[in-house]
A and B are shown apart, each in its own frame.
Chain A
Amino acid sequence: MRSQIQLMAEVREAFGMALNAIGTHKLRSSLTLLGILIGVFSIIVVATAIEALQGNIEKEMSQLGSHTFQVQRFPAIQVEDDMESVEKYLRRKRFYLSTARQLEERSTLAKHVGVTAEVDQGEVFSLYAKTAPTVSYRGMSPSAFETRNLVVAEGRALSETDMESARYVTVLGADLAKKLFPFGSPLGKWVQFRGVKYTVVGVLEAKGSIFGQSQDNFMSVPITTVLNRYGRETSLSIQVQSPSQEAFDDVVEQTRGVLRTLRKTPPGEEDDFEIVSNDSLINQFRSITLAVRAGAGIISSIALVAAGIGIMNIMLVSVTERTREIGIRRAIGAKKRNIMTQFIMEAVVLSEIGGILGVLLGIGAGNLAAAMLLTPPVFPWDWALIGLGVCSVVGVVFGTYPAWKAANLDPIESLRYE
């Protein structure tokens, strides 16, 4: 109890004197903590920006239903951009509706197999809207509503009958329904796209936006209708939903096997298609950002070491300047330990002031960068705390030698120091 009070008093004294000392030499102190500031800033700004982007990636994933993966020709995040690899992807066989049908038949483990095709963009008209918004025009199979995580708010989803008879019906995204039919229900009315009329049978729930882009600005029509209009060769993407998380890997394996057989991929050769799941997406994102993070980490470590040396230098100056003060403190009963605490505290406070400014500016700038991509602001607590922790370590490591020097000054010699 007593020793605890004593420790508190000592730390408080040390802290007060540290602020006092830093305040006395404002310019000198700010120059010293600038190094720390830059070091912390560089890692925090990167971490903040990445975290903001990651939030978006995760939101994007909610586009797929639960335990769902997508089969497609191109990778989700393309890292290589040389002609050779682009050609490799372009040479890959497309997925046709027949592929999806056969896959559905043969994958005994899958719950749903959905097919989608993003084929066109253009203006869509209705009798009730003055303007014609530009929308994306999607072909969908009925089960794609499950696999793409789309929920019907009004009316119904596309049905097997729509699909079989390739009817001219459509289900509208929430935004689009509002724009085309500002008053009253759109159900049973028609919209016109590229000169063809489609009867509205349903409206979807809103999904919000990613990177500032609405996710609800599309019309979906039966995939068969799309193929009739845009040709049988239209490339499709196929989504497969597993009945549960446990079965997920098995479903992936089965799908892979079936697809290789259907596409006649020679054994031993790598898949000529990509399987994209939420996990694979986030892993890919992580591995890309890891390099960026590592780069920022190296830069900030170098800056922090340089800043630490700066702190050590200024602390050595400070110890010399305050030799007399040290002598006085020793003369009235300060132990070496007290002097050590005082000077290490000063180094830590100096470094922490730089650290806190670095964190604040880093988060500010990182969010500013993220705001340009229209993502919501984030506060990376973990990185901020790590940053401040590292600052304390820098303060302790580089403050120890000057503090040790101060503590080991001879009391009587220091009292005589002019």
Chain B
Amino acid sequence: MSLIRIRNLTRHYVMGVETVHALRGVSLDISKGEYIAIMGPSGSGKSTLMNLLGCLDTPNSGSYELNGTNVADMDDNALAEVRNREIGFVFQSFNLLARSDSLHNVELPLIYAGVPYEDRRERARQALANVGLAERMHHKPNELSGGQRQRVAVARALVNDPSIVLADEPTGNLDSRTGEEILSLFEQLSRRGNTIIVVTHEEDVAQHARRIIRIRDGLIAADEVNPNPRAARLVGAAERVPAPA
């Protein structure tokens, strides 16, 4: 059974008299443990698809089954719980709380998951250390560089050990070395059986995935297996991923 099963998903935005068709009918099956890269030109509908997969947005038509459950049938609380426990979302625009420091930002999903204070602080610290930000725990987003913010966003997405990681351009602002560190984190998670979906513009990054989906104009243009996925160069960073509790 597929973890994710979408059929003829469409999403359009009505802008006055004009209608923008962001997704025109996308069907996909994704199994547990897959490592997928989504590529496509700007405006092709990648972020729109990710928002739907992340249970943040609702499609105009089509169906989405997550773990065998029809997402359209889930109530608001159930969706919040899925977003909190099952999905780790790295937003293209980071979406950090401006008035909170890195540690609090990363801790936030654990608060809503009801993790006790000490435990949650420890896990948040560890997640920040894993993205190389141990020194920036008490900096607010406006005191961080673009790449550092992106890494805080990654730490927040991974802190709850989600079974599905949805990362929208997680390395867009990073130099290749730091980018590799993030990718090796994903690789490590993937090896543990977590499902990873990464949106990227960089062919280099996409080559780490075992399956590459290309989107054009709101439709799937290609969906192919990557015959020999590249391993992340920096294994050192991956070793810092804690064993699952």
Q: B99 to A332, Cβ gap below 8 A? A: no
Q: Is the interface of A mostly helix, strand, loop or mixed?
A: helix
Partner of B57 from A3, A24, A334, A412 at Cβ < 8 Å: A412
A13 touches B111 (CB 8 A): yes
For the complex, is A336 an interface residue (Cβ under 8 Å from B)? Answer: yes
Instruction: Spot the interface stretch: A4-12, A79-87, A122-130.
Output: A4-12
Taking a contact as CB atoms closer than 8 A, the residue among B51, B80, B109, B116 that contacts A5 in the complex is B116
B80 x A333 contact (CB < 8 A): yes
**Using Cβ atoms and an 8 Å threshold, which residues of chain A touch B109?**
332-333
| A415 part of interface (Cβ distance < 8 Å) | yes
Whether a CB of chain B sits under 8 angstroms from the CB of A156 is no
Given A24-B99, A332-B89, A411-B56, A6 contacting B114 (CB threshold 8 A) = yes
- Is A338 an interface position by the 8 A CB rule? yes
| B186 contacts A by Cβ under 8 Å | no
Say yes or no: is B95 at the interface (Cβ < 8 Å to chain A).
Answer: yes
Residues of A within 8 A of B108 (CB): 329, 332
Q: Are B96 and A5 in contact (CB under 8 A)?
A: no
A406-418 vs B, CB cutoff 8 Å, 1 = contact: the mask equals: 0000011001000
Number of chain B interface residues as a range: 20 to 34
Contact status of A331 and B56, CB under 8 A, knowing A24-B99, A336-B76, A412-B51: yes
Interface contact B114-A3, CB-CB below 8 Å: yes
Query: Please, which residues of chain B bring their CB within 8 A of the CB of A324?
Result: 95
- Give B3-56 interface residues, CB cut-off 8 Å to A: 51, 54, 56
Query: How distant is B43 from chain A, measured CB to nearest CB, in Å?
Result: 15
**Chain A nearest CB, measured from B183 CB (Å):** 22
Complex Cα distance, B54 from A2, in Å, reads 26
CA–CA, A13 to B56, complex, Å?
Answer: 23
Convert B137-167 into 0s and 1s, putting 1 for each residue whose CB lies closer than 8 angstroms to a CB of A: 0000000000000000000100000000000
A20 contacts which chain B residues (CB < 8 A)?
A: 99-100
Please give, as numbers and ranges, the residues of chain B lying within 8 Å of A272 by CB-CB distance: none
A5, A6, A328, A330: the one contacting B97 at CB < 8 Å is A328
Nearest 3 pairs between A and B by C-beta?
A333-B84, A6-B114, A335-B80
Would you mind naming 28 contact pairs between A and B with Cβ atoms under 8 Å apart?
A2-B114, A5-B114, A5-B116, A6-B114, A10-B114, A20-B100, A21-B99, A328-B96, A330-B80, A330-B83, A331-B56, A331-B89, A331-B91, A331-B95, A332-B83, A332-B156, A333-B83, A333-B84, A335-B76, A335-B77, A335-B81, A336-B77, A337-B77, A338-B112, A412-B51, A412-B56, A415-B91, A415-B95
Query: Apart from A9-B116, A328-B96, A334-B112, what are 12 other A-B pairs with CB-CB below 8 Å?
Result: A2-B114, A9-B115, A10-B111, A21-B99, A327-B95, A331-B91, A332-B83, A332-B109, A334-B80, A335-B77, A412-B56, A415-B91
